[in-house]
Every structure is written in C-alpha cells, then in structure tokens.
Amino acid sequence: MKKALVLITFAIALSLLSLGSAQADPGPEGGNAQALTAYIESWTDLGVQDETETAPLPSADPGKKVYITFDDGPDPLWSPQVLAVLRKYNAHATFFMIGRNAASFPETIVQIASDGNTLANHSYNHYDLTTLDAASLSLEIGDTDYYIRSALRNNPELEGQVTRCLRPPYGQANDFVYSYAGSMGYSISMWNLDTRDWAGTDPHLVLSDFISQLQPDRVVLMHDGGENRQNTIEALDLILHELIMQGYDIQPFCTANGQAVIGY
C-alpha cells in the first residue's frame, strides 16, 4: 500500500515539475530537480516510504533458557540504563541488591520491580560472609531484606517481585553460610557464566567470551552498581541481541517461587 502511494506521489511530483519547468529556469543549483527531491523527502518524513521485507525474529525455544542477573545495585545512574536495555528486548532479570544501596535508593528499586524484574539479596555491606558469625550474618541478610521490602511499601502489587535468594559477595560461601541462609528461608544463588563486566572489559570482548560459553541454563553475572558501568550497558545490548537471535528464552533466575533448578 505504501509503495503504491509513493509511486502515485512520484507521478504527481513529476507532473508538477513539468508544469513548473515551463515557467522557471532551473538555475545553477539544480532548480526543479532540487524541488522534486525536497518534495519526495517531505513525504518520506511523513512515513510514506518503501517497505523492505525483514525476516521475523526467532521464536524463543522453551528448552533454551538463560538467566540474566545483576549484582551491586540499586544504582540511580546505572540501574535505569540497564532497565532501558532490558525493555528494548522485552527481557527480565534478577537484581541482587546491596542493602546499603537499597536503603539509599528506594525509588530505583520501585523502577526495577515495576518493569517486571525480580529482587534478591546480596548482603548489606558486601562483606565476605564466610568471615562472619551468626549474629552478623543475620543482620547482613535481614537488614537487606528489610530495606528492599520497605522500598515497596507504597506499591503492594510489587511485593511478589521480592525473592528469597541470596548471592554471597565474591561468590564466597561455606557450609555454615549455606546452612544459616537456609534456616532463614534463603537459597544460595550462584552463577555459571561470568561476563567480567566488573573488570571494565571491552563490550565486544565480553560478547565474544559470552558466545564461547553460551549454552542452555547459563546464569549470567553482570553488575548494575559499584563502578562505571558503561561497558556493562553496551555489552548487555550485544548479549541480549545475540540471545534473541539464537532463540533463547530469557528469564529471571529467582522468583517468589524460588530459584530456577539448573545444573551448575
């Protein structure tokens, strides 16, 4: 339909050009030819342009799941940029939050949850949990949960986005941490694909390494806080595009029902 309209428009434009050519000298700058170009471009600006057939995006394969996770937020600068990329690809993730950041930036937590992402625990101070006694470990986990939930107190419809998943800082956990977290109702949530975005790696190198490790049931580690995360934003865009082109189903790792069951 648009192609036909363009052809009709072009014919009208040629008629107008022919009529105008008998009345005006084109001049050294192109004259009527320039006018024709401008006329056609004005229609293009209105959205009347040739349509190029594009191949549909691959459908997600339910047997090819991958889980995107972010640590060290929430961050009022970087978390919203991560959200924008996730929205671009209609993807969702699990955000493992540091308690002191959750206490400082509750509005960012609301943004993350409102976009359909899930919220999880990354301790309050980002200490190595294996060095703590029971009382300190309880505070690290409990205070973080408190501030995440407090951020949503005016949005009760989002409370279901809070999960009982704990990611130990630095991936450090021992039998005591597993046992004590379990007594508090938490599952320990690790990863099996580290993008090394935290090292400031070039986004295209992140993508190359990601592709070399990609297979179903990968839990992908990225970061939305702590440092300059511009490389994370750019790498995330590349990674999500690759996942969609390969037909992966992108899911949050943790939900209110628990974490996904995978083989590490």
Could you state, in order of their start, the residue ranges of all structural domains in the chain?
2-45, 61-259
- Domain 61-259 matching CATH 3.10.20.30: the answer reads no
- DSSP labels for 31-95? HHHHHHHHHHHHHHHTT--PPPP-PPPPPPEEEEEEEEEEEEE--TTHHHHHHHHHHHTT---EE
Between strands 162-166 and 118-121, the pairing is parallel
Respond yes or no: is residue 223 known to be catalytic.
yes
pLDDT bucket at 45, cuts 50 / 70 / 90? very low
What would the pLDDT profile of 94-114 be if each residue is shown by its tens digit?
999 999 999 999 999 999 999
27 vs 72, which has greater pLDDT? Answer: 72
Distance CA 161, CA 261 (A): 18
Residue labelled with tokens 């959750």: 102
Is the pLDDT confidence value at 213 over 80?
Answer: yes
36 vs 85, which has greater pLDDT? Answer: 85
| pLDDT for res 56 | 55
Roughly how many angstroms between the first and final C-alpha of the chain, as a whole number? 52
Which residue in 122, 223, 237, 241 is the catalytic one? 223
pTM for this model (two decimals): 0.78
What would the pLDDT profile of 48-78 be if each residue is shown by its tens digit?
343 334 345 567 777 899 999 999 999 999 9
Which residue in 71, 75, 143, 224 is the catalytic one? 71
In sequence order, what are the residues at sequence separation of 6 or more whose Cβ sits closer than 8 angstroms to the Cβ of residue 250? 60, 65, 66, 67, 68, 89, 91, 92, 93, 240, 243, 244
What would the pLDDT profile of 133-142 be if each residue is shown by its tens digit?
999 999 999 9
Tell me the torsion sign for CA atoms 127, 129, 130, 132. positive
